[in-house]
Amino acid sequence: MFPLRMGSPASFATVRDFLKKSGYSEEFLKSHFSVPALEPLLMPQGLLFQHFEKLYQGEGAALFLTRLFLGGYATPRQLFHKYCPREVMDALLELGLVQEVRGSHHDLRSPVLLYPAYGLYIASDAGPRMEGVTGYQGQDFVMSGTEDICRDFIDGFPKTPCERFLDMGTGSGLAAILGAGFAKHAWAVDITERATRFANFNRMLNGVDNLTILRGDLFEPVKDLQFDRIVSNPPFEPPLKSHMIYSEGGSDGEQILARLVQQAPEHLVAGGRLYANVCGTDRDGETFDERVVRWLGVYREEVDVALFVRLELKPEQYAIQQMLGENQESWRLHEYNAFYGSLRAYQVVIGMLVIQRRTRPRPVFRVRRKLGLRSGVEHMDWLMDLEARLLDEGMPQRLMQAAPVATSHWELVARHAFREGRLSPVSYAFQTKQPFEVELNVAPWIAMVVADCNGRHTLESLYDSLQKKAPISEGQFLEAMRALLSCDILRLPGESVPEPLSGPVRHYFLQ
């Protein structure tokens, strides 16, 4: 049964204003518990026991709300009288955000988690909590959206204005509610009724009225609509865990993503993009990104595909990470090994998949890049735009007339071997860390051209002088220059690449 009640807009506004005025914010939680993000507070889906002591250190409305909504503790009525004005208390009861503890008129408890996230308040299902409360255990459990993986998703799509925004598989509705803040209108779809009810509750709690929430299988409820931005954090786990709808991605973990990729192009306007948070496998004979292109079917020639990788892990590393996260027994490692073995998978890939419907007939591009530690969505969007420009009509001629500059953040690594009694270079590779971690193997002539790119020589003049030393075709030359531009080893005049992100670097558990 859905644990909350839809109340009047006025009751939602009363609760919202109270939460804000009380200082119940992400900043408060991070500083009170001395954690860099909310996730370390919350395994599994509730406040971790080791934070218990701090929960009772200090006083104030924000801490009271933390105990109530994050800790899930039964709270005596007199404390509510201390911190909540009468109308707030009435509104909390009306919305079901607090309910009487069974068998006690003195204590109240919240049946849900209610978190501050990205300046919003998000209610979602609560898992096991202290005091023997088991939490919600249905397969349609709605995750909060504040877990690290959801943060990666939310941080991985642009927040710039757009017309029509869709969050596919919305869960608690966090991404959709954020989207409604910069889109003219936003839509959210989820297959479970429970998720759509939470999303709608959260829409009201955050006072959003340009968001339509619909229930159904992928694009079925929006079959006649097109969007300029679609975002999705689809389920992608192997079918080895608890069969939760939010996490299980079908027989190979990629089934829902495959259908999403297949159907998305039809629902994108020209120039529209899908940003999907993905986890898939590189397999013998077919990498993950190659399979994505195959899923596109008839849209293959109309759609650009970019895979921005955050993490590449050996299957057994990924399995260990999963087992530790879920407190699973170590013998299950065999099940994971058998699963990845059956797929002939040699690598698990986690990242952001961007699919773009081209604006006019032109060749499409495919890129796969490992994101630099200080790179984010700005860098992904920069590359998407650059790759499209490099395929513009007339670009080869314009490129030949341009005088690019070599950037200064790469290293050229030469491998040497001892051959015929002499140490000789056998291969050259450009290595970069920002904006992407790249190792670009090149022929020696490419390294020589880059060394001469100082902004004063056009590519045409560099090509002419190269001709005297090596017979390279213009096609080969341009292809190499495009690769160098796309890795930000060369830059065109006037090209501006986003600065590396500042602030703490996101560290992954196993890397």
Ligand X SMILES: C[S@@+](CC[C@H](N)C(=O)[O-])C[C@H]1O[C@@H](n2cnc3c(N)ncnc32)[C@H](O)[C@@H]1O
Applying CB under 6 A, which residues contact ligand X?
143, 145, 150, 153, 169-172, 174-175, 189-192, 195, 217-218, 233-235, 245-246, 256
- Closest CB 339 distance from ligand X, rounded Å: 19
DSSP H or E stretch at residue 88: helix 86-94
How far apart are the C-alpha atoms of 75 and 127, rounded to whole Å? Answer: 18
Other beta carbons within 10 Å of 327:
8
- Closest CB 192 distance from ligand X, rounded Å: 5
* Closest to ligand X by CB, 246 or 308: 246
- Closest CB 220 distance from ligand X, rounded Å: 8
CB contact at 8 A, 399 and 486 = no
* Closest to ligand X by CB, 276 or 453: 276
* Closest to ligand X by CB, 165 or 410: 165
* Closest to ligand X by CB, 14 or 233: 233
- Closest CB 295 distance from ligand X, rounded Å: 15
* Closest to ligand X by CB, 171 or 372: 171
* Closest to ligand X by CB, 162 or 260: 260
Other beta carbons within 10 Å of 271:
12
Q: What is the torsional sign of CA 20, 24, 25, 28?
A: positive
* Closest to ligand X by CB, 198 or 336: 198
How far apart are the C-alpha atoms of 59 and 67, rounded to whole Å? Answer: 11
- Closest CB 182 distance from ligand X, rounded Å: 17
CB contact at 8 A, 15 and 23 = no
Burial class (CB in 10 A: 0-12, 13-18, 19+), 451: exposed
- The token duo for 19 is 């939460």
- Closest CB 154 distance from ligand X, rounded Å: 7
- The token duo for 107 is 């204590």
- Closest CB 125 distance from ligand X, rounded Å: 11
* Closest to ligand X by CB, 72 or 235: 235
Length of the chain: 511
In terms of phi and psi (left: phi > 0; alpha: psi -120 to 50; beta: otherwise), the region of 378 is alpha
CB contact at 8 A, 410 and 485 = no
Give, rounded to a whole angstrom, the gap between the first and last alpha carbons of the chain: 40
- Closest CB 22 distance from ligand X, rounded Å: 25
Looking at this protein, which amino acid is placed at residue 92?
L
How far apart are the C-alpha atoms of 367 and 289, rounded to whole Å? Answer: 9
CB contact at 8 A, 231 and 158 = no
| Best CA proximity match to 250, nearest among 279, 210, 228 | 279
How far apart are the C-alpha atoms of 180 and 157, rounded to whole Å? Answer: 14
- Closest CB 102 distance from ligand X, rounded Å: 29
* Closest to ligand X by CB, 145 or 265: 145
DSSP H or E stretch at residue 114: strand 112-117
- Closest CB 176 distance from ligand X, rounded Å: 8
Beta bridge partners of 347: 282
Q: CA 230 from chain center: how many Å? A: 12
- Closest CB 190 distance from ligand X, rounded Å: 5
What is the Cα gyration radius of the chain? 26
How far apart are the C-alpha atoms of 126 and 143, rounded to whole Å? Answer: 8
CB contact at 8 A, 204 and 266 = no
* Closest to ligand X by CB, 254 or 488: 254
* Closest to ligand X by CB, 235 or 315: 235
